[in-house]
Structure 1
Amino acid sequence: MKTVRYGIIGCGMMGQEHLRNIALLPQAEVVAIYEPDAGMRAQAQALVPGAVMVGSLAEVLAVEAVNCLLIASPNHLHLPQLEEIAAIRPLPVLCEKPLFTDPADAPRLAALRAAYPAPIWVAMEYRYMPPVAHLITQAGVATGGIKMLSIREHRFPFLEKVGDWNRFNRNSGGTLVEKCCHFFDLMRLVAGCNPVQIMASGGQAVNHLDEEYSGQRPDIWDHAYVIVDFENGMRAMLELCMFAEGARYQEEISAVGPKGKIECLVPGPGRFWPAHLGPAPVPQVIVSPRNPAGPMVLDVPVDPNLLAAGDHNGSTFYQHRGFADVVAHGVRPDVGLDDGWWAVAMGMAAQLSASTGRAIGAEELRAMTP
């Protein structure tokens, strides 16, 4: 029997990417799946024919062989499901982002953190994309100490999900939570400290304007700018556009300091790259010192097997490899509850700033965060 035996809660598009990546780990297997949608359940069963399909989260927990869990359900279900797990059988959990969606739920998260006896890893895949990971490890040396961090994501619109849950802020937490908590996590990781002020401007300009679901129009935003000031003086900026899928690179991240600049260029999912343009772009890291001036370009290719397993440049595999060490060897999660909480709170603060036209300062941030 393999060492790491997953129970899966939610097996839609992202859940199935997790299944394909777990299958690449020699010490891991999926033994039980709960997915209420019949179509997605059938697709999941085809990927893992040996897994037992069950009808509830409680039934997953009742499968004795299961020794860890993955939550990949719609965003607004994450916290209630963590609470149900805590009440029945608190196993190690890898929980998809965002950790929660409603600012009013912070006390519930605090209670969960205080009482949950097993590790909870919050899924922040962008940390593990090879070009991004390379930038993170080299940024301090290349820049001489980061003063400015810029993240630009120009990408495709939100994909269709089961029940169209991701078309509404009440389910997703809002675009700056649902989509951008990844980037706020990266900012805080690179800074090595917490934010003290967040300012944002955003809205819905192009996408989903003509859509209607049960008489309701989607309210998710499709573009934004966010500026974040950190305790150590570092400043960070996010530029998000979700109607720019024709771009060569989906993410462009740059860090600049007194000695120079380092940046990484990350292509979007290969399945979206136009075939008539030839092979999809290869990720790159570019180091541009001030003295001697001149950029140095490094290709950072991703294993084709990992690219075939999902849309996140191999990061889902590396994340599961780390989580397997948590389950099998008791190591500390890379991304804990406090990290996931901060990422969501920064997104909520950005949504609030953009909605009210004012900066969210340190005092308000402290009220939102761990």
Structure 2
Amino acid sequence: MQRYGIIGCGMMGQEHLRNIALLESASVAAIFEPDAGMRAAAAALAPGARMVSSVADVLAVEEVNCLLITSPNYLHLAQLEEIAAIRPLPILCEKPLFTDPADAPRLAALRAAYPAPIWVAMEYRYMPPVAHLLREAGAATGGIKMLTIREHRFPFLAKVGDWNRFNRNSGGTLVEKCCHFFDLMRLVAGCDPVRVMASGGQAVNHLDEIYDGQRSDIWDHAYVIVDFQSGMRAMLELCMFAEGSRYQEEISAVGPLGKIECLVPGPGRFWPAHLGEAPVPKVIVSPRNPAGPVELDIPVDPALLAAGDHNGSTFYQHQGFARTVAGLQSPEVSLMDGWWAVAIGMAAQESAITGKAVDFAAAPYAPGAARP
């Protein structure tokens, strides 16, 4: 049985709490959340959990046998290091693993020494329409040559202390928001990236937002192109001022035999009530010969939709993590996977700022380059 200790329990942490409650053999033993409002909300969702005052206090609760980190991005690496020094346990850590390119050597050291499994939370892998595309893409395409991901969504939500309004805290939009998509690209490619080209910036959102005398610098749109070792090319189109869209994510994979797409709606709580029922996720397979698209609905269990904003994926992720805690499997999203996802985002931001392509062989924050 998983008896979770939870470190940070704001908006995303509370989604995890609702999904842990749906598991058959899991409970929450301890929660560390310093914000009073979020702590009260977490306590209401997990009334049996002990509310404690630090990471060390979570680790001191004897019945805790696994950990979930859902704190602000810039705290993740230091908290992983603190856990490693006190009581290493299996960890499910929300993305991103780190936010400062200079901290890559610290992550390398942690990876080399940590004795228990670390699973990096990449919910998009587990969304039912995305998982269906991943299973069927090889047969539908005959081998993916081009992968396109488009996310048209709502602006960043308000977070405690407005930490997500600044690149220094979040790692930047292409790390904070988009490492999910870079993880999908690398998963589909089955190999590592070689270079990134990007263009992005702040066009509409947060332009007039000032916090403690500092103007928000978080980006709201970008294009990113990633070349992989296999020759596969991938592209991300991000727009965070397009919440009027019917679908939030649209993913397309194309190869010599045809194309497969998935269409994923955004959180149901944001769907306008006057438009009726929220859209159902879809997968569309379009063979070249004989030509003719086939459209499939991929419905998601309503109980899972009600438990969070990620189309049921958080629940499925926890099911896999439970098997890892039980010693039945390795993490499906390894620390190396999480590291590469951050490195691609950092390279994309570097490219957008400099106007130059970034080669990973020369990127000091990429895996391999930063090993101690």
TM-score higher than 0.5 here? yes
Structure 1 residue 368 displacement after superposition: 1.9
The 4+ residue runs of structure 1 with deviation greater than 3 A are: none
- Secondary structure at the aligned position of 2:210 is classed as coil
Q: Which amino acid aligns with 2:132?
A: H
- Secondary structure at the aligned position of 1:199 is classed as strand
Query: 1:320 and 1:356 mapped to 2: Cα distance?
Result: 39
Percent identity, aligned pairs only?
82
Judge conservation of contact 1:167–1:220 (CA < 8 Å) in 2.
Answer: yes
Q: Which amino acid aligns with 1:286?
A: I
Deviation string for 1:241-292 (max 9, x for gaps)?
0000000000000000000000000000000000000000000000000001
1:224 paired to 2:222: yes
Residue equivalent to 2:176:
178
- Secondary structure at the aligned position of 2:283 is classed as strand
- Secondary structure at the aligned position of 2:284 is classed as strand
- Secondary structure at the aligned position of 2:215 is classed as coil
Judge conservation of contact 1:194–1:230 (CA < 8 Å) in 2.
Answer: yes
Structure 1 residue 121 displacement after superposition: 0.2
1:80 paired to 2:62: no
Residue equivalent to 1:369:
367
Structure 1 residue 362 displacement after superposition: 3.7
Aligned counterpart for 1:304 among listed residues 285, 302, 309: 302
- Change in Cα spacing, 1:138 to 1:158, as seen in structure 2 (3 Å) is same
Higher deviation after alignment, 89-98 or 330-339: 330-339
Query: 2:365 and 2:311 mapped to 1: Cα distance?
Result: 35
- Secondary structure at the aligned position of 2:237 is classed as strand
Aligned counterpart for 1:140 among listed residues 138, 141, 155: 138
The TM-score, its normalising length taken from structure 1, stands at: 0.99
Q: Which amino acid aligns with 2:261?
A: E
Judge conservation of contact 2:360–2:366 (CA < 8 Å) in 1.
Answer: no
Query: 1:301 and 1:320 mapped to 2: Cα distance?
Result: 20
Judge conservation of contact 1:196–1:365 (CA < 8 Å) in 2.
Answer: no
Q: Which amino acid aligns with 1:85?
A: I
Residue equivalent to 1:294:
292
Aligned counterpart for 1:316 among listed residues 286, 307, 314: 314
Alignment of 1:60-75 (within 5 A): 60-75=58-73
Which residues of structure 2 form unaligned runs of 5+?
none
Structure 1 residue 367 displacement after superposition: 5.5
Query: 2:60 and 2:136 mapped to 1: Cα distance?
Result: 45
Deviation string for 1:202-223 (max 9, x for gaps)?
0000001111100000000000
Query: 1:131 and 1:56 mapped to 2: Cα distance?
Result: 38
The TM-score, its normalising length taken from structure 2, stands at: 0.98
Judge conservation of contact 1:7–1:30 (CA < 8 Å) in 2.
Answer: yes
Alignment of 1:330-369 (within 5 A): 330-365=328-363, 368-369=366-367
Q: Which amino acid aligns with 2:236?
A: L
Alignment of 1:171-320 (within 5 A): 171-320=169-318
Aligned counterpart for 1:37 among listed residues 35, 38, 46: 35
Structure 1 residue 331 displacement after superposition: 1.4
Query: 2:256 and 2:360 mapped to 1: Cα distance?
Result: 27
Structure 1 residue 198 displacement after superposition: 0.3
CA RMSD, 1 decimal:
0.8
Aligned counterpart for 1:166 among listed residues 164, 167, 182: 164
Query: 1:215 and 1:85 mapped to 2: Cα distance?
Result: 35
